[in-house]
Amino acid sequence: MELWFTEKQTPNVGITCKITRTLHTETTPFQELAVIETLQFGRMLVLDGMVQTTVVDEFVYHEMIAHVALNTHPNPEKVMVIGGGDGGTIREIVKHPKVKKAVLVEIDERVIEVSKQYLPEIAVALMGNPKVEVRVEDGIKHVKEHKGEYDVIIIDSTEPVGPAVELFSEDFYKKVYESLKDDGIMVAQTESPFFNRDIIKNSFTRIGKNFPITRLYFATVPTYPSGVWTFTLGSKKYDPLAVKKEDIFVDPSNKYYNAEVHFGAFMLPNFIAEII
């Protein structure tokens, strides 16, 4: 018998993976959570039917959401991730030698626990890393209560449906701005330039209302809708394109991000550039 998982990414297109088994399913207070074993991409974390990460391609998204901002800031000592309960973004953040503290603020404790159990290579930094603090808390509440505290804030959210809707609002980006120090930087995952052009445009405009330097960049993630994914960076002071190449920190374990990719990711094909 063949077992297949399909995410219907739009009403007209989906991604289908042959699987060997379902490792875990549950309904948490926030969402439906599953971990399945795919043949092509290894273990896969699925929330509300949407692929969040897979063992085989997670490095692209996690390196790219973390290292671009960390290398734009000259001294990223205190960093926060909102969402990102699988731990992949935190794992990348603690690779950076200047990071002293990385705080994960995830609303759904079950995502953290299930990731630790079934995706240990992704969740590794959530299991006793001295630089990491894990907080099960609403990110919106957290930014309101922590003003002027962070050097870098990374919004590693799900799609803007369900628990993450507010994480794409102008008011939230303003709270993120206020939670950053005077020279802070934020990054948000902002979806597919093929399928979610409105989301990209709206996020860019909303982030740009708060941050004087706003830039869109992209990476290729095979298991996400269309395989092309964007990130939007908002910065109070430092421009990611003004970074000196020789100052860029590249961990030897990186599989995607390097000093060339740092700049190349901002070189947008026309169909992406025209969105913003």
List interacting residues with ligand AG3 (CB under 6 A): 7, 9, 50-53, 61, 84, 86, 88-89, 156, 158-159, 189, 224-225
Q: Is there a contact between 17 and 41 (Cβ–Cβ < 8 Å)?
A: yes
Residue number with CB closer to ligand AG3 (91 or 142): 91
Q: How far is CA 47 from CA 53, 123, 167, in A?
A: 10, 16, 16
The closest of 55, 54, 64, 56 to 256, measured between CA atoms, is: 64
Identity of residue 32: E
Kindly state the smallest distance separating residue 84's Cβ from ligand AG3, in Å. Answer: 5
CB 216 within 8 A of CB 206: no
Q: Is 72 or 189 the residue whose CB approaches ligand AG3 more closely? A: 189
Closest approach, Cβ 83 to ligand AG3, in A, equals 7
Instruction: Report helix, strand or coil for 40.
Output: coil
Helix (H, G, I), strand (E, B) or coil at 236: coil
- To ligand AG3, the closest distance from the beta carbon of 53 in angstroms equals 4
Looking at beta carbons, which residue is closest to ligand AG3?
A: 50
Residue 151 CB partners (closer than 8 Å, separation 6+):
73, 75, 76, 77, 78, 79, 180, 181, 183, 184, 185
Residue 37 Cβ, how far from ligand AG3 at the closest point, in Å? 18
CB of 248 to ligand AG3, least distance (A): 23
Cβ atoms of residues 79 and 153 within 8 Å: yes
E-strand spans in the chain? 3-10, 13-27, 32-38, 42-47, 50-54, 78-83, 101-106, 132-136, 150-156, 180-191, 213-220, 228-235
Q: Rounded CA gap, 109 and 29, in Å?
A: 10
CB of 118 to ligand AG3, least distance (A): 14
Active site residues: 156
CB nearer ligand AG3, residue 75 or residue 117? 117
Contact present, 69 and 187 (Cβ < 8 Å)? yes
Asked whether the beta carbons of 126 and 86 are under 8 A apart, the reply is no
